[in-house]
Structure 1
């Protein structure tokens, strides 16, 4: 009954308030996304990894840092489902706790870069002229360097660790979002409703915040979702190179780095976190493709 009432309320063709219109739009997006099986598979994988990571203290059979040198590099067994690493630590426990570190880094990067890229792109596209030139040339400078190389340079200039890795990835990940937001802004800044806003006396900043940014957000969400896989791989690469999470932190990239010496004989130590990175990256690509079909008006 409650779901039926919500459905009728959300799908009302004449919403009585802005919140009803917003919920109705979001519900229609969900209904469209639900028709794409690959997107739902990707969403299910992402939610499963997030739930497992959040429940790590309850699900992990061992302390992820507890060492048992007498049981090092043990194969899969009833006591250790995914075996143990070179220090006898349970791989399953480290995988669960490592999801908190890796996925937490990715979420932190997105929270930082999405508003920065959206703001810079909308400001550049709306004001144009010297402002646009200055901001886009700054964007070009960051785009001129490969993301991982630039992130490594930033981390090397700071101190290796999770916080430094998050900041370094954020500093290198925002330019594509700024480019996308600028392109979207250029298509709407000459629209009639923007001119009407100016005639009512709205300031440029109010127009950007209340009208331009919301129009750019759907495309940005699609781009962020598709870029999540590259952000995950960059975060894991920094951990693999020793520039991200530091031992004994159970980060997926760091787990692969410490296990690379045993990859041919004790393959499970590196394979398990590698499969986790692969599945999460693939899931975000599936979800991003579905969101692009639903949110991108040029694709419909």
Structure 2
């Protein structure tokens, strides 16, 4: 007679979660899962806005055109045929016509997208960190530090952005680099105001108090715990400001204070084409439409990011 041993049933296998369920889990098992889950929720909220997707497509197209300018441009952006190709209307050979120097306008627009991205990216890299640092330090320190930094900010805000940029470029001299510096100097005050408001909301929260009790220095609190909380609002504001940056750069180029000839800057192209606006309208219309589309794309993208990164604005 055989003795049957005690057997225990095998443990039930845990159900395999789908990728979507794993991202949307309310009990993440790691910090990576939590970050990916937040990013996925933000993307779903962003994708629900069709206009925001259109803006994203426009900006991605701008980036691809700028990267592939050497492959896409059919002609040189700076060398034209003044004898036989001056002010030609749009045709199969020159899709957007030619300018007063016999240069292909489509090629100049394609290469001009690089200058547009160059200005936008550099201004964002310079102005946003400056505004973030000044705003968070002002909001966390308070007292006389807050008063001094905010009065400096008010001085910059008191001047119209374009007027102040014109004054700075006139002092520094014309050129694309000086135009970037001038636009960046006039663009940081709104970012400082936003960062200060966000900081004042969280500086007395339990989270910051706990970090302070653990012995963290004020510098560490500002850099590691407060600045990350301000990033979403700052990203939205920077994206919405891109259209204004492009228009300011185009305005400086229109006045001859931005990129200098023969660089294919869109504002300078409009300035050179305004002399022929009645008869050869395409010379000024093509860069004007390009500025309109890119500015519209950044505005639509900024609206979508605002709804995606701030659930309160979307009613969720």
TM-score (norm 2): 0.91
- Partner residue in 2 for 1:29: 42
Paired residues for 1:202-241 under 5 Å: 202-241=216-255
Partner of residue 212 from structure 2, selected from 164, 181, 198: 198
Whole-Å separation in 2 of the counterparts to 1:206 and 1:235? 36
Partner of residue 174 from structure 2, selected from 160, 163, 170: 160
Whole-Å separation in 2 of the counterparts to 1:10 and 1:264? 58
Whole-Å separation in 2 of the counterparts to 1:201 and 1:20? 29
SS of residue matched to 2:258: coil
Aligned residues, how many?
Answer: 297
The question of 1:125 aligning with 2:139 is answered yes
Whole-Å separation in 1 of the counterparts to 2:50 and 2:262? 39
Q: CA RMSD in A?
A: 1.3
Whole-Å separation in 1 of the counterparts to 2:19 and 2:299? 30
Question: Structure 1, residues 200-256: CA drift from partner, whole Å, max 9, x if none?
Answer: 001111111111111111111111111111111001111111111000000111111
The question of 1:245 aligning with 2:267 is answered no
Whole-Å separation in 1 of the counterparts to 2:222 and 2:36? 22
- Partner residue in 2 for 1:55: 68
Moved more, 269-278 or 7-16: 7-16
Partner of residue 270 from structure 1, selected from 284, 293, 299: 284
**5+ unaligned residues in a row in structure 2: which ranges?**
1-16
SS of residue matched to 1:172: helix
Whole-Å separation in 1 of the counterparts to 2:193 and 2:236? 14
SS of residue matched to 1:71: coil
Whole-Å separation in 1 of the counterparts to 2:311 and 2:132? 19
Q: Greater share of helix residues, 1 or 2?
A: 1
The question of 1:170 aligning with 2:184 is answered yes
1:9 deviation in Å?
4.3
Whole-Å separation in 2 of the counterparts to 1:8 and 1:170? 43
The question of 1:261 aligning with 2:275 is answered yes
1:5 deviation in Å?
6.5
1:14 deviation in Å?
2.7
Whole-Å separation in 1 of the counterparts to 2:278 and 2:312? 47
1:52 deviation in Å?
1.0
Moved more, 86-95 or 14-23: 14-23
Whole-Å separation in 2 of the counterparts to 1:199 and 1:95? 56
TM-score (norm 1): 0.96
Whole-Å separation in 2 of the counterparts to 1:68 and 1:275? 24
- Partner residue in 1 for 2:30: 17
- Asked which structure has the greater CA Rg, the reply is 2
The question of 1:109 aligning with 2:123 is answered yes
Paired residues for 1:37-52 under 5 Å: 37-52=50-65
Whole-Å separation in 1 of the counterparts to 2:27 and 2:158? 48
**5+ unaligned residues in a row in structure 1: which ranges?**
none
Whole-Å separation in 2 of the counterparts to 1:170 and 1:7? 41
Whole-Å separation in 2 of the counterparts to 1:257 and 1:234? 14
Partner of residue 198 from structure 2, selected from 172, 184, 207: 184
* Cα gap change, 1:297 to 1:191, in 2 (>3 Å): farther
